Amino acid sequence: MNQKIAEKIRKLFALSEGTTFPEEAYSAMQRAQELMAEYGISQADVDATESAQEARETGTDGVNVGGRNERWLWALAHAVASNFRCFAYRFRDRDEDGKLTHTFTFFGYGDYAAIAAETFHFAWMSARSCFREYRKSVARPGFDGRKLRGSYFVGFVDGLREAFAENVTEKALVVVADAVVKQEFAEHSKALGLRSGKPITLTIRSDDAYSTGHRDGRSLKRDAYIAS
Q: Is residue 2 part of a domain?
A: no
Identify the pLDDT of residue 172.
53
Q: Is residue 33 part of a domain?
A: no
Q: Is residue 153 part of a domain?
A: yes
Q: Is residue 34 part of a domain?
A: no
> Residue 170 pLDDT more than 70?
no
Identify the pLDDT of residue 84.
83
- For the chain, the residue count is 228
Evaluate whether 122 touches 130 at the Cβ level (below 8 Å): no
Q: Is residue 18 part of a domain?
A: no
Q: Is residue 115 part of a domain?
A: yes
Q: Is residue 4 part of a domain?
A: no
Identify the pLDDT of residue 63.
95
Distance CA 127, CA 131 (A): 6
Please, what is the average pLDDT of the chain?
81
Q: Is residue 35 part of a domain?
A: no
Number of independent structural domains in the chain: 1
Of 22-26, 72-76, 93-97, 118-122, which has the strongest mean pLDDT?
A: 72-76
Identify the pLDDT of residue 76.
95
> Residue 171 pLDDT more than 70?
no
Distance CA 185, CA 107 (A): 7
Of 7-21, 30-44, 152-166, 212-226, which has the strongest mean pLDDT?
A: 152-166
Q: What percent of the chain has pLDDT over 70?
A: 83
Instruction: Identify the domain containing residue 192 by its residue range.
Output: 59-224
